[in-house]
């Protein structure tokens, strides 16, 4: 087989890159180790920056998103039983939108299928070869059959545990990581949202987040120990703890119901440098991970897609490689700003096991400064709705 670009990973970043390139007449093959049903079963983030919305529009795939997405002009932050609001629209001129990552991925799968563009599911033993040389290629096994795809470039969109980052020699890559000493217990329930916008809550009992997928599907999170399992949290116990972490006016109006999905996600920050090795380019979780605080994971992957898509387009259409040469530096510059913002929000809103009385007073002062200072609110709003590409 032969393709101009081989994309490792059939999640949203790989699919979006593939469809954007397809619309420019650039051949791609997508390799995914799971099934389509498995990928679509993952419950992930639902807050989209305007940059990602524009990419979906550029890909010709924004119709359902714009029809069904919920626009959020701001968000609420609660602390010590009180609440204040950050007005994104007033401070930046743009909102964010709520549209689940699963729905983004579904739209992208449907588009790739409609375009009859090749995608191979349940691939194993993927190897990325000769990306430093002149004949890059990818080999993989599907069932009992061994395959080889010759290509010009490889886009590694296969997540933290994928083969792409591991292809870069250990001596040539630097990895930066911060692991947080708690996780998020997330519950999806077929209940109306508690509020028309998100509520981020700092409480003496730990962090809580009230989110949503649509008018009848809510997503709630509470900070919990990493040693916990979902079985440690029966529904009644979860709802009771969530209420205790929210201001009274919201706790009283919370509509509860059976959980549809329940899981615990650890929190960590991770960055790999560089994001390019020869003709291999890392994209999304293959290169970086952020805590979910601030909803930057999918959105930061989208900025990688933007840089790589435009660089490949310039290569094939104009014969220019400046974008490819600058890809890692450009992507990482924005990645580290997203990492800083997620780290800042996580530290401001969570309770840490080793916090002293001094630490708690500093945290309280940080929240009070954000509440009272318009410049601080503007800085948060600019980061939350998404820094420019």
Active site residues: 72, 200, 292, 296, 384
Percentages of the chain per state (helix, strand, coil), in multiples of 5: 40, 30, 30
Q: DSSP of 107-122, one letter per residue? A: HHHHHHHHTT--EE-S
What whole-number distance in Å separates Cα of residue 306 and Cα of residue 140?
A: 27
Where are the extended beta strands (E) located within 32-173? 47-48, 70-72, 74-79, 82-87, 96-98, 119-120, 124-129, 137-142, 145-150, 153-156
List the beta bridge partners of residue 186: 221, 263
What whole-number distance in Å separates Cα of residue 254 and Cα of residue 256?
A: 6
What whole-number distance in Å separates Cα of residue 320 and Cα of residue 297?
A: 30
First vs last C-alpha separation in the chain:
34
List the beta bridge partners of residue 222: 185, 208
What whole-number distance in Å separates Cα of residue 233 and Cα of residue 218?
A: 18
Residue whose structure tokens are 């992930």: 44
Closest CA to 103 of 67, 64, 70: 64
Describe the crossing of helices 322-349 and 374-385 by its angle, rounded to 10 degrees: 130
> Tokens at residue 385, please?
């709705």
CA-angle at 9, arms to 8 and 12, nearest 5°: 135
Q: Could you give the maximum distance between any two Cα atoms of the chain, in Å?
A: 65
> Strand pairing of 208-214 and 217-224?
antiparallel
What whole-number distance in Å separates Cα of residue 309 and Cα of residue 307?
A: 6
């Amino acid at each position: 087989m032969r393709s101009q670009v081989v994309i490792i990973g059939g999640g949203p970043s790989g699919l979006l890159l593939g469809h954007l390139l397809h619309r420019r007449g650039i051949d791609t093959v997508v390799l995914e180790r799971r099934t389509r049903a498995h990928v679509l079963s993952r419950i992930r983030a639902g807050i989209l920056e305007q940059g990602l919305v524009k990419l979906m529009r550029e890909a010709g795939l924004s119709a359902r998103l714009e029809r069904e997405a919920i626009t959020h002009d701001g968000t609420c932050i609660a602390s010590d039983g009180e609440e204040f609001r950050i007005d994104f629209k007033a401070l930046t001129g743009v909102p964010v939108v709520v549209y689940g990552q699963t729905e983004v991925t579904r739209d992208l799968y449907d588009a790739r299928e409609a375009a009859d563009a090749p995608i191979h599911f349940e691939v194993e033993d993927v190897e990325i070869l000769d990306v430093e040389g002149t004949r890059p290629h990818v080999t993989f096994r599907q069932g009992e059959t061994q395959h080889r795809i010759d290509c010009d470039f490889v886009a590694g969109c296969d997540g933290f545990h994928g083969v792409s980052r591991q292809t870069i020699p250990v001596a040539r890559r630097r990895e930066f990581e911060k692991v947080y000493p708690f996780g998020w217990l997330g519950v999806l329930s077929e209940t109306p949202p508690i509020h028309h916008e998100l509520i981020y809550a700092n409480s003496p009992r730990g962090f809580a987040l009230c989110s949503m997928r649509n008018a009848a599907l809510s997503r709630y999170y509470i900070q919990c120990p990493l040693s916990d399992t979902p079985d440690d949290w029966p529904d009644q116990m979860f709802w009771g703890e969530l209420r205790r972490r929210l201001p009274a006016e919201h706790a009283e109006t919370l509509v509860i119901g059976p959980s549809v999905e329940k899981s615990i996600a650890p929190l960590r920050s991770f960055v790999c440098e560089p994001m390019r090795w020869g003709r291999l380019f890392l994209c999304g979780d293959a290169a970086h991970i952020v805590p979910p605080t601030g909803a930057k994971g999918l959105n930061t992957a989208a900025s990688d897609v933007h840089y790589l898509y435009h660089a490949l387009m310039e290569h094939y259409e104009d014969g220019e490689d400046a974008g490819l040469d600058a890809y890692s530096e450009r992507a990482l510059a924005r990645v580290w700003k997203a990492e800083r913002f997620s780290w800042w929000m996580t530290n401001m809103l969570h309770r840490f096991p080793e916090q002293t009385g001094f630490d708690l007073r500093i945290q309280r002062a940080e929240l009070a400064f954000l509440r009272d200072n318009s410049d601080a609110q503007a800085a948060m709003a600019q980061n939350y709705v998404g820094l420019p590409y």
